[in-house]
A and B are shown apart, each in its own frame.
Chain A
Amino acid sequence: MNLTLKIWRQKSPEVKGKMETYPVYDVSPDMSFLEMLDVLNEDLVERGEVPIAFDHDCREGICGACSLHINGEPHGPMQRTTTCQLHMRSFKDGDTIFVEPWRAKAFPVIKDLVVDRSAFDRIIQAGGYVSVNTSGNTLDANAIPIPKEDADKAFDAATCIGCGACVASCKNASAMLFVSAKVSQLTLLPQGEVEAGERVQNMVSQMDKEGFGNCSVTGACQVECPKGISLENIARMNREFLKTNLSPGK
């Protein structure tokens, strides 16, 4: 199949970028989206042009490195799918495909389609952990009885790969789904519950500092999340946040 790609090109964070058009020919429907970009890049290199920069790592849908806003949706048209697991059979011959980086003030473009997502790392550093020593006398986690329902919910939240699709899809560029998944994952378990109040306050305050927008509960994030993280987590984080505001000191 032959396609027309409209791709965001930007040399560096300081330079203004723009959409450029690239025709691609003989694309196999069995290629992944990233493989299709690889082919285009080989072409560009052969022609002496600068290849398109994009993030990728495991290409198995589990690392959260790949991104790309494809035809108006993060990770493209397939739900519950990362860009690396999106295949060209999802498109038709002759299609024009828009490929853009995540757009958010907190995710500045580094080059072309690569954005700086270290804002997420700083949110995690602000409280997305459990303070236990790992110096050799750590208790076996399985020794602590945890209700199955809580364990399942914590696990669901923990499937968040931190790709940032929630921010990219939100009309307010809000990071609430990501932060709430991390808050839920830790708070639902007895090891993490101890620091629940402090954690939610610190993570939310860091989230605001990074310049993400506010949640208006449109639900775009849970539709576009490749791991199906649900709005239930946002409600839980709001609950935890209000709880600590109402009874500070906890």
Chain B
Amino acid sequence: MAFTGLFLCLFLVGHLAGNFQLFLDGYEAKLQFNQYAVFMTTNPIVKILSYAVYISILFHAIDGVLLTIQNRRARPQRYAMTKPSANTMWSSRNMGLLGTMILAFLIFHMQDFWYDYKFGEMPHMTTEDGSAVLLKSGEEVLDATVNVNYQVVSKTGEVLGPVMKDLHEEVMVAFQEWWIVLLYVVGIIAIFFHLWHGVQSAFTSLGLKTPKVEAAIKMAGYGFAILIPLAFAIIPIYVYLIF
């Protein structure tokens, strides 16, 4: 849990760095974001990393379920009276619930953008004046059309290759819906609570939390749990309010 959890924390940082581009405005920003999306879906190193992320999520979730089953079995007869708030934080006791919420949110999130980008319907990029269609490579093609398979077709009927999809537009449109923004904020709050317990306890599990560094790990853990989700949550709210 600790290894995969900390790796997924690194992923969050990378994901967030890409998201910051959504604060930019204008055609240039849109083009840059969509070129970034092309890079993220074609670069071989990114591909390897993305598989590592998928495997980590899967392993983290399955391991979590297995450990929860073992832990429940370790106490077949429950107490008639418990006072959990006397000795633990809510987040520490509810990592399974939070993890399930996050997984549900991830499925929605992947379907919303990742699936649509790869397999679903999505607008495509043109030049700023709309006169030319943009290929995935960024090349401009005048008087071209785009067929149902998102291939650019020239005037002469020749298939020139895949079009650059407009993920930026998809994101901007999605975040105009209040309920989608709310869902994202709730999902991110679940991530906040999950990290609040998870980051620093991962260091205990790995045996790295010695008294010398304990205060620093606590500060860094809580800091990470606050700052990363906060930055993630601001983006949909910003898009909803500004654009």
A contact residues vs B (CB 8 Å cutoff): 6, 8, 19, 69, 71-73, 77, 98, 100, 103-106, 169, 171-174, 211-220, 223-224, 231-232, 234-243
| Interchain CA distance A231-B92 in the complex, whole Å | 14
Q: Which of B73, B76, B79, B209 meets A69, CB within 8 Å?
A: B79
Decide if A71 touches B81 in the complex (CB within 8 Å): yes
Neighbouring B residues of A236 by C-beta, 8 Å: 207, 210
CA distance A223 to B93 in the complex (A): 14
A72 and B88 alpha carbons, distance in the complex (Å): 13
List the B residue with the shortest CB-CB distance to A109. Answer: B77
The answer on a CB contact under 8 Å between A73 and B83 is yes
B148 interface contact, C-beta 8 A? no
Check B86–A223 contact: CB distance below 8 A.
Answer: yes
Interface size class of B (residues with CB under 8 A): 20 to 34
- Shortest distance from the beta carbon of B217 to any chain A beta carbon, whole Å: 10
> Which of B75, B87, B210, B214 makes the CB contact (< 8 A) with A220?
B87
User: Could you tell me if A239 and B208 are in contact, using CB atoms closer than 8 angstroms?
Assistant: yes
Q: Give the chain B neighbours of A104 by CB distance below 8 A.
A: 74-75
Chain B residues near A (Cβ < 8 Å) = 67, 70-71, 73-84, 86-89, 92-93, 95, 197, 201, 203-211, 214
In angstroms, how far is the closest chain B Cβ from the Cβ of A154?
Answer: 14
| 8 smallest beta-carbon distances between A and B, as pairs | A239-B207, A72-B83, A213-B74, A217-B201, A172-B71, A98-B81, A223-B87, A238-B207
Per the bound structure, the CA–CA distance linking A212 and B72 in Å amounts to 10
Q: A219-B88, A223-B86 are in contact. Are A211 and B74 (CB under 8 A)?
A: yes
| CB-defined A-B contacts under 8 Å, sample of 13 | A72-B82, A72-B83, A103-B77, A106-B74, A171-B88, A171-B93, A174-B71, A214-B67, A214-B71, A219-B89, A231-B209, A235-B207, A242-B206
- Contacting pair B210 A235 (CB below 8 A): yes
Q: How far is the CA of A220 from the CA of B90 in the complex (A)?
A: 11
| Candidates B76, B87, B210; contact of A73 at CB < 8 Å | B87
Given contacts A72-B84, A103-B77, A235-B209, 5 further A-B contacts (CB under 8 A): A73-B83, A173-B71, A174-B74, A213-B70, A223-B88
Give bound CA distance, A215 to B206, whole Å: 12
For B87, list chain A residues within 8 Å (CB): 73, 169, 218-220, 223-224
**Once the chains bind, are B73 and A105 in contact (CB under 8 Å)?**
yes
B76 to chain A, nearest CB (A): 6
| Nearest-Cβ distance from residue A230 to partner chain B, whole angstroms | 9
Interchain CB contact (< 8 A) of B204 among A69, A212, A238: A238
Q: Assess whether A173 is in contact with B75, with CB atoms less than 8 Å apart.
A: yes
**Is the pair B81, A100 in contact by a Cβ cutoff of 8 Å?**
yes
What chain B residues lie within 8 Å of A100 (beta carbons)?
79-81
Which residues from B are CB-within-8-Å of A212? 74
Chain A residue contacts of B67, Cβ below 8 A: 214, 216
CA distance in complex: A100, B80 (Å): 8
Q: Is the CB of A98 within 8 A of B80?
A: yes
Residues of chain B within 8 A of A217, CB atoms compared? 92, 197, 201, 204-205
Q: Give Cα distance in the complex from A220 to B74, angstroms.
A: 16
Task: Give the residue of A19, A105, A234 whose beta carbon is less than 8 angstroms from that of B80.
Answer: A19
User: What's the minimum C-beta distance from B130 to chain A, rounded to whole angstroms?
Assistant: 55
CA distance A72 to B208 in the complex (A): 32
CB pair A235–B79 under 8 Å, yes or no, is no
Kindly provide the distance from the CB of A18 to the nearest chain B CB, expressed in whole angstroms. 9
Residues of A within 8 A of B84 (CB): 72, 171, 220
Q: By the criterion CB–CB under 8 Å, are A211 and B71 in contact?
A: no
Cα-based distance from A144 to B92 in the complex (angstroms): 42
In the assembled complex, which residues on chain A have CB atoms less than 8 Å from the CB atom of B211? 232
Q: Which B residues touch A243, using CB under 8 A? A: 207
Determine how close the nearest CB of chain B comes to the CB of A142; give it in whole angstroms: 26
Give complex CA distance A98, B145 in Å: 76
User: What's the nearest-Cβ distance from chain B to residue A83, in Å?
Assistant: 15
Task: Please pick, from A71, A172, A231, A232, the residue contacting B83 in the complex, using a CB distance under 8 A.
Answer: A71
With both beta carbons as reference points, the residue of chain A lying nearest to B86 in the complex is identified as: A73
- Kindly report which residue of chain A lies nearest to residue B85, judged by CB atoms: A72
Chain A residues with CB below 8 A from B79, complex form? 69, 72, 100, 103
A100 to B83, CA, bound (A): 13
Contact B207–A171 (Cβ < 8 Å): no
User: Which of B75, B79, B205 counts the most chain A CB atoms within 10 A?
Assistant: B75
Compute how far the CA of A98 lies from the CA of B78 in the bound complex, rounded to whole angstroms: 13
Query: Given the complex, which residues of A lie within 8 Å of B74, measured CB to CB?
Result: 104-106, 172-174, 211-213
Complex CA gap A215/B84 in Å reads 16
Complex CA gap A87/B28 in Å reads: 73
Given the known A-B contacts A19-B80, A172-B74, are A218 and B88 also in contact in the complex, defined by CB atoms under 8 Å?
yes
